[in-house]
Structure 1
Amino acid sequence: MMDLENKVEEEKKSRWCLLPDLVVWMVKDRLGMFSNARMASVCRNWWYASLSYPNHESAPPICIMQPANNKNSSSCYDFICTATSQREEEKFTVNLPDFDEAKLLFSKHGWLLMKRKYSLFLFNPFTKVRINLPDVKDSFGHFAGSFSFSTSLKQPQCVFIFTYLVHGILWLGIAHPGDKTWTEYNYVNQRIESVSARNVLAIGQKVFCFDNHGVLIIYDLVTQIWREVDRPANDYFGWYMVHQGEIMKVPSKYDSRGGQPCPDSFRIFRYNDDSTAWERLSYDDVKVKDTSWFLNTQGCCFSAKGHGFKVYFLNQPLVGLASCRLGIKRRRSEMPISDTFHARFHDMIHRTSQSLFPYEFSRTASWVNLA
C-alpha cells in the first residue's frame, strides 16, 4: 500500500515538473518576478518553455540585495526588485543562519556565492538550496570569487577564487560542487609588494585575475601558462565583467571631493586577448546597444540586455548637501559622507543621471543577477 502511495506521489511530482509550454506561459503571465523564479526552480520545462514565451519581457528585473533592517537578527537579507514595484512581491526577505555576517562575492542566474568567515557556499534564495565549498585558509585577507554556470544542470559548475599572499604571491583556487579541497595554483610577481584582489572571471579554459591596481594576470588551464597584462597608461579605475563571452571593463573618473564615480566619464572597453589590449567600443556597437551595466563596489558586476544603454551604480551622497540646500554654506571637502547609498543610473545616450529607488540602501547593498 505504501509503495502504491509513493508511486502516485512521484507521478504527481513528475507531471508538475514537466508542465506543457502553454501552461507554463499562463502561469508566467500571472506571477511576479520572485514567484516566477521559485516556479522555475521546481518546473523542469520552465527554461525551455520560456525561450518561446510570446509575452517575453525584453528586460530582466533589476534587483538589489542588502541586510534587512532587523535589530534582532543579522541573518536576514532583503531582495528588492524594481520590476514588481506595483505588486506585493516588490521585496522578499530570506532569514537563514547561513546568512549571519555573510558577504556576497558573486551572483549569476539566481545563485549567490557567499563568504562567511573562512567558509564559502553557493546559495539559491528561491529554492533555499545550499552547496558547501571547501574552506579557505585563515591567513587569507580580501579575495575575489566567481563561478561558471551549467545551463543543463541549472546550477554553478565551477568556482574560482583568488587572493594575494605575502611577497606578491598570487593564489588561485578552483573547486567544483562536492569537492573537499581547492585545486591550487600560484604565480609569483616580483614587482608587487602590496596589492589586493579585485575580480576573478573565467571564459572557457582561461581565468582572468584583476588586482586593485588594474593589472590583469591570466592563467591558461590547458597550457598551464601564466601571462601578465599591465594596466594601460592614463587608465581610470574600472569595473570588470563577462559579457557575451568576452571580458569587458567600465572605467570611470572619480570625484576627488566626494570619492564617487563621475557618470559622464563612463566608457565601455573590450579586452582583446590576441593583442593584449583594451579596445573602446562605440555607442553604436552591437555588443553594447540596449545593454545595461551593473557596478558594485565589491567587484560583483554584470550586464543585462533590455534596459537600454545605461550604467547602474550605488552612489554614496555627501551629508552636507542637504544643509547647503537650506542655505548653510560649507566646503564640499568638509562635508561628511553618508552611511547609506542611493541607487542611480546613467543614460549613456542622453548623458543624464537619476535615482532609481525612492529610498536609501546600506553600505553593503549590491546589485544581484537573479535573472
Structure 2
Amino acid sequence: MTDRRGKLIFSNEDVSKNGLEKKVLTITDLTSSLLEIIMYYLVLKDNIRAFVVCKAWRKAAEYVRVVEKHPWFITFPKHDDLTILIDPLERKRYTLNLPELAGTDVCYSKYGWLLMRRSNLVDMFFFNPYTLELINLPKCELSFQAIAFSSAPTSGTCAVIALRPFTRYSVRISICHPGAIEWITQDFSFSIGFDLYMHSDLVYANDHFYCFSSGGVLVDFDLSSCTMSHQAWNEHRCPYMHNDNDEWFNMLKRIYLAEQKGELFLMYTCSSEIPMVYKLVSSSWEEMSSILLLTA
C-alpha cells in the first residue's frame, strides 16, 4: 500500500510485551534476495539507474548482471544529451540521459570506464556510466593519434598513455596519472621506419603498451621502466598497403590490435575483403583467419 504522499509501505504486525503493535516497513527494508529478484527483471538502463540508489541496490543490481554477455555499443549524438545503448544481437536500442557527456568524444574504454575528451580538445576526464563517477585529468594540449589507460582510474595504479608518431623514426609518448597536475612527454627514436598514419590503437597488456603499424612494426612501451623497444616482422607488413595489386589502393583499410587474457591479436581489414587475423605466439604471429571463419 502507499501513504498519502505515495510512498510505498508494507504493513506488518509485531508481538511485543505490551501486545500487538503495527510496524511500518518501507521498500528499503526488502531483503537482498527480494531485491535481486526485482533487479533481475530490469532492462539494462533501469539496472544502471537502480545501481546508484544505495549500497544495497548497487549490490543487487551488480549481482544479477549477466557475466560474459556479448558487448553492447554506446554512442553519443552530437545534438542532444542522450546516450544511446545498442544491443547488436538482440537489435534493441535504449537511451540514457547523461548530460555529463554532452559535447564529448570517447577516446578509450575499459574496466567499465570511459576516457572522454571535450569538444575543446583540451579537457579530458574519466567517466563511469554505471556509477556516474567523474574523474578529471589535467588539461591535454598535446596532439596524439592513439591513447589508452592501464587500469581503472580508482585503482591507484592507473596510467594514461598518449602516442604520436613524430617522424618515421621517432615516437612521442605523453604520460599522465589521475590526480597529476600535468602530462609528462618524452620522445623515443628507433632504427625501423614506423608508418605515421596507418597503425593500430594502443593496447595494454602485462604492464606494457603496444601499437602495430602497417610496416609490420610492433612498438612496445614498458610502463614500469618508461622505456621503448620495437620489433619488425617483414612477413606481416599490411598486404593491402604493400602489394603491387592496385585494386586495393582506394579501399578503406584498417589495422586493429587487441588483447585478450594477456595475449595479443592482430587484424587487417580492407573494405569487403575477408579480415586477416593473427595471434602472437612466442614472438611469432600465427594466422587465425581459418579459425575465425569457422566460428563466425
TM-score, scaled to structure 1:
0.55
Residues of 2 paired with 1:51 and 1:95: CA distance?
20
2:94 matched to 1:91? Answer: yes
Does the 8 Å contact 1:113/1:145 carry over to 2? no
C-alpha displacement of 1:133: 1.3
Check conservation: 1:33, 1:61, Cα contact below 8 A: no
- C-alpha distance 210-49 of structure 1, shift in aligned 2 (>3 A): farther
The CA deviation at 1:63 is 2.0
- C-alpha separation between the residues in 2 aligned to 1:156 and 1:125? 21
Report 1:1-371 matches (<5 A). 22-41=33-52, 44=55, 56=66, 59-67=69-77, 70=79, 73=80, 76-82=82-88, 90-94=93-97, 96=99, 98-100=101-103, 102-116=104-118, 117-138=121-142, 140=143, 142-150=144-152, 153=154, 157-166=158-167, 168-192=169-193, 195-196=196-197, 198-211=200-213, 213-233=215-235, 235-236=237-238, 237-252=254-269, 254=270, 260-262=271-273, 265-272=274-281, 275-281=282-288, 348-349=293-294
Question: Deviation per CA, 1:173-212, whole angstroms, max 9, x where unpaired?
Answer: 2322211122434311355486146311222322213345
| Contact 1:105–1:145, Cα closer than 8 Å, also in 2 | yes
CA apart distance, 1:144: 0.9
Q: CA-to-partner distance for each residue in 1:106-153, whole Å, 9 max, x for gaps?
A: 112432112231222212234433221122235x2x4211223349x5
CA distance in 2, matches of 1:238, 1:173: 22
Q: Residue 181 of structure 1: SS of its match in structure 2?
A: coil
- Please tell me the residue identity of whatever aligns with 2:128: N
Note the alpha carbon deviations across 1:333-362, whole angstroms, 9 max, x for none.
xxxxxxxxxxxxxxx3376xxxxxxxxxxx
**8 Å contact kept, 2:113–2:127:** yes
In structure 1, distance between residues paired with 2:266 and 2:195:
23
Shift of residue 243, structure 1, vs aligned partner: 0.9
Q: Distance in 1 between matches of 2:212 and 2:190?
A: 13
Distance 1:107 1:42 in 2: 24
Q: Percent identity?
A: 20
Q: Which runs of 5+ in 2 are unaligned?
A: 1-26, 239-253
Whichever of the two has the greater Rg, that structure is 2
Aligned to 2:4: none
The aligned amino acid for 1:144 is A
Corresponding residue SS for 1:36: helix
Q: Does the residue aligned with 2:147 lie in a helix, a strand or coil?
A: strand
Q: Which runs of 5+ in 1 are unaligned?
A: 1-14, 255-259, 285-308, 310-347, 352-371
- The root-mean-square deviation of aligned C-alpha atoms, in Å, is 3.9
Q: 1:211 to 1:118 in 2, by over 3 A?
A: farther
Whole-Å separation in 2 of the counterparts to 1:49 and 1:112: 23
Q: 1:349 to 1:164 in 2, by over 3 A?
A: same
Shift of 1:31: 0.8
Shift in CA distance, 34/51, structure 1 to aligned 2, threshold 3 Å:
closer
Residue identity in the other structure for 1:276: S
1:57-112 per-position Cα deviation (integer Å, ceiling 9, x unaligned): 652352241425x4xx5x654333346756xxx32144536532x32221124321
Q: Secondary structure at the match of 1:179?
A: coil
Kept in 2: contact 1:270–1:281 (CA 8 A): yes
| Distance in 1 between residues matched to 2:56 and 2:155, nearest whole Å | 12
